[in-house]
A = this chain, B = another copy of it.
């Protein structure tokens, strides 16, 4: 590590990355390589002698980038977005430059304290209740992903019950969510030792726009209690992965409260929109929740990874996740004067991730961030209008945020046919390399998902995408 060598080489890398962004539309957005392509292009073992940066960058250009699916391309409409931005990128650089490991306060007080402050800032932008902020018994913490967020709160909730009822109650613990909940919950249950059959995913359908019905939840809870089971955790979702369904938090929260159930709200994608007053009502009722999560790395211009989790009772996390080995003891921690984030998460080590979120908030400011969200939602509205105007298609669920769920109608009204048709259309569209969409299944129907949210996407990309879909639809009809 030599400062001047770093300066020289990092300037070269900056230009390489800036050039990548300039040319990003020249790549097929979904990589078109075949499995195993890279092994044929790279040697079998590491070199004995150093190679030049130019050699490596040539390989990145010729061998790596063709195998990249370009999440930053303006033609990326799959899954949910993963935003990169100038501010987020600068924050990543600075964090990698300082390269400290902030497990305890003492190992870099600024890392812990900036994280507390910045999550308070973001919590205020989201109008989270006061008791999620670090000034009380709660607080925010940056996790890597929503999967880790739900795992740590699940474990905290589990242990809270087990401390009361004894370890052997584990097999009776029941978790609830809608069947639209992200698979991260199921994975958290697997890791945390919850019986798979006790992870109850309650059925949703179009009558609630795929949101969880409070009545169904109430009934499930009382049925389970009468069977001697122990309901302990509900994961509500605002902005489900399939269709951005928003569970009714307030009604759900009343049920969890009266049953002593930990209520976690996963707003990984849609949370970002809630900085706009007109979308904030979707998380009304969050005051009833015990924990709330949104991914700043999805739709909030903060480079991956940065998943913001707030809890009302930080001690619940700490009681489950703390360890206190001698080699980490220090005056500040022993005096209980400080937060040691190692006890709020699975890993010990942690990066200085608050820097990038801080930079995003400061370099853009709230008003620009609101414009950014609204612009994407308007683009999604525009796409929705295009779909609605073409009688071959239907919009399947009401668009709430920036995702449009739609499908090609089967000409003969056969659902089986409709499913294979939409499957084939998706395949054809993604094979062009011009745009990248993904899919889901709702009530047995294969649905195409058009998620607007890449920072470079403009209206012309949305209309061009629609043209690709129309062209491929026509080609498909001709080939039938």
**In the bound complex, what is the Cα–Cα distance between A347 and B147 (angstroms)?**
5
Point out which of A90, A109, A187 has the most chain B C-beta atoms below 10 A from its C-beta.
A109
Chain B nearest CB from A345 CB (Å) reads 9
Partner of A16, one of B94, B192, B347: B94
For A85, the chain B residues whose CB sits under 8 A away are 1
**In the bound complex, what is the Cα–Cα distance between A3 and B24 (angstroms)?**
10
What 0/1 pattern do residues 352 to 387 of A give for CB contact below 8 A with B? 000100110111111110000000000000000000
**In the bound complex, what is the Cα–Cα distance between A94 and B96 (angstroms)?**
11
What 0/1 pattern do residues 339 to 354 of A give for CB contact below 8 A with B? 0000000111101000
Q: Assess the A303–B96 pair: CB atoms within 8 A.
A: yes
**In the bound complex, what is the Cα–Cα distance between A326 and B405 (angstroms)?**
14
Q: Assess the B67–A109 pair: CB atoms within 8 A.
A: yes
For A323, the chain B residues whose CB sits under 8 A away are 183-184, 186-187
What 0/1 pattern do residues 311 to 345 of A give for CB contact below 8 A with B? 00000000011011111110110000110000000
Q: Assess the A51–B362 pair: CB atoms within 8 A.
A: yes
Partner of A190, one of B110, B184, B321, B359: B321
Which 7 residue pairs are nearest across A and B when measured between Cβ atoms?
A67-B110, A193-B193, A7-B18, A17-B97, A92-B96, A84-B99, A183-B323
Partner of A108, one of B2, B10, B31, B363: B31
Could you name 16 residue pairs across A and B whose Cβ atoms are closer than 8 Å? A4-B18, A31-B106, A33-B109, A46-B366, A51-B363, A56-B358, A67-B109, A69-B100, A69-B109, A71-B100, A99-B303, A145-B347, A146-B348, A183-B328, A186-B323, A326-B441
Q: Assess the B304–A361 pair: CB atoms within 8 A.
A: no
* Interface-facing stretch out of A36-44, A202-210, A254-262: A36-44
* Interface-facing stretch out of A118-126, A225-233, A285-293, A406-414: A118-126
Say yes or no for A464: interface residue by CB 8 A criterion: no
Decide yes or no: A107 and B69 within 8 Å by CB, A86-B9, A347-B147 being known contacts.
yes
Q: Assess the A99–B121 pair: CB atoms within 8 A.
A: no
Say yes or no for A455: interface residue by CB 8 A criterion: yes
Say yes or no for A98: interface residue by CB 8 A criterion: yes
Say yes or no for A273: interface residue by CB 8 A criterion: no
Q: Assess the B362–A111 pair: CB atoms within 8 A.
A: no
Say yes or no for A401: interface residue by CB 8 A criterion: no
Say yes or no for A439: interface residue by CB 8 A criterion: yes
**In the bound complex, what is the Cα–Cα distance between A38 and B60 (angstroms)?**
40
Q: Assess the A109–B60 pair: CB atoms within 8 A.
A: no
Say yes or no for A242: interface residue by CB 8 A criterion: yes
Say yes or no for A68: interface residue by CB 8 A criterion: yes
Q: Assess the A367–B144 pair: CB atoms within 8 A.
A: no
A-side interface residues, number (CB < 8 Å): 152
**In the bound complex, what is the Cα–Cα distance between A329 and B183 (angstroms)?**
12
Decide yes or no: A106 and B30 within 8 Å by CB, A92-B96, A147-B348 being known contacts.
yes
Say yes or no for A19: interface residue by CB 8 A criterion: yes
**In the bound complex, what is the Cα–Cα distance between A56 and B64 (angstroms)?**
34
What 0/1 pattern do residues 167 to 195 of A give for CB contact below 8 A with B? 11011000000000011101100111101
**In the bound complex, what is the Cα–Cα distance between A151 and B147 (angstroms)?**
15
Say yes or no for A438: interface residue by CB 8 A criterion: yes
**In the bound complex, what is the Cα–Cα distance between A182 and B109 (angstroms)?**
23
Partner of A346, one of B90, B346, B439: B346
Point out which of A60, A122, A193, A305 has the most chain B C-beta atoms below 10 A from its C-beta.
A193
For A348, the chain B residues whose CB sits under 8 A away are 145-147, 183-184, 187
Partner of A148, one of B83, B186, B346: B346
Say yes or no for A14: interface residue by CB 8 A criterion: yes
Say yes or no for A241: interface residue by CB 8 A criterion: yes
Decide yes or no: A82 and B96 within 8 Å by CB, A51-B362, A362-B51 being known contacts.
no
Q: Assess the A109–B191 pair: CB atoms within 8 A.
A: no
**In the bound complex, what is the Cα–Cα distance between A86 and B52 (angstroms)?**
12
Chain B nearest CB from A360 CB (Å) reads 9
Q: Assess the B70–A320 pair: CB atoms within 8 A.
A: no
**In the bound complex, what is the Cα–Cα distance between A105 and B37 (angstroms)?**
12
**In the bound complex, what is the Cα–Cα distance between A326 and B321 (angstroms)?**
32
For A420, the chain B residues whose CB sits under 8 A away are none
For A113, the chain B residues whose CB sits under 8 A away are 36-39, 67
Q: Assess the B86–A2 pair: CB atoms within 8 A.
A: yes
